[in-house]
Amino acid sequence: GAGVSQTPSNKVTEKGKYVELRCDPISGHTALYWYRQSLGQGPEFLIYFQGTGAADDSGLPNDRFFAVRPEGSVSTLKIQRTERGDSAVYLCASSLKHGPTEAFFGQGTRLTVV
Amino acid sequence: GDSVTQMEGPVTLSEEAFLTINCTYTATGYPSLFWYVQYPGEGLQLLLKATKADDKGSNKGFEATYRKETTSFHLEKGSVQVSDSAVYFCALKTGANNLFFGTGTRLTVIP
């Protein structure tokens, strides 16, 4: 596609439920990033993929958070047993693998846990 | 580890004033440096970048110079406009291609 696409744009879920957030990167971009942005804060790094593998998952806050990218394109961020503190905008970005290239961001998914 | 420290805001300026937003970094190796901007109601977008020491990135009247000796990448604009009101993020891309952001600085320009 023309840009990074994230779905859904908004998600409201009840505390304790499971949610999946999807990211469709720019075609040909092998690097994919997930961030979490709370109100008034900068993007907090969660996980970074090179191709199908997680090159760095040190930002995942706990084992309730998991992300996959099975075919090296679309990625899904999965959150189990959601808590109210998980409420934030989840951002996805993609970039070319090599070099100091910019990352292109999607519009984000606003997750609200009630 | 690699990180970015950014001047906290908010910053409020009158139109045509001079803008500086400070950014310093900590990194191993030779990172690339970026400024991203988030306009109200919009997603993050790249404003400018610099890929090696002494490079100057520029766009829309904004400039930033990659200073290795002071590990800085301060954002400047000589004359801000109301339309520059946004949140500005300094970011660092490591040799391993990971990308880290500062906490952001909200700029408000008043007529």
Give pLDDT tens digits for B8-34: 889 999 999 999 999 999 998 889 999
Structure tokens at A68: 């996959």
B105 touches chain A (CB under 8 A): no
The answer for B 58-87 residues in CB contact with A (under 8 A) is none
pLDDT tens string B33-87: 999 999 988 889 999 999 999 999 999 999 999 999 999 999 999 999 999 999 9
| CA angle (B28 as vertex; B25, B33 as ends), nearest 5 | 45
B98 touches chain A (CB under 8 A): yes
B32 touches chain A (CB under 8 A): yes
A26 and A97 Cβ atoms separated by less than 8 Å: no
B89 touches chain A (CB under 8 A): yes
B20 and B80 Cβ atoms separated by less than 8 Å: no
- pLDDT surpasses 90 at A71: yes
pLDDT tens string A33-47: 999 999 888 899 999
Contact across the interface for A55 and B98, Cβ inside 8 Å: yes
| Rg (chain B; Cα; Å) | 13
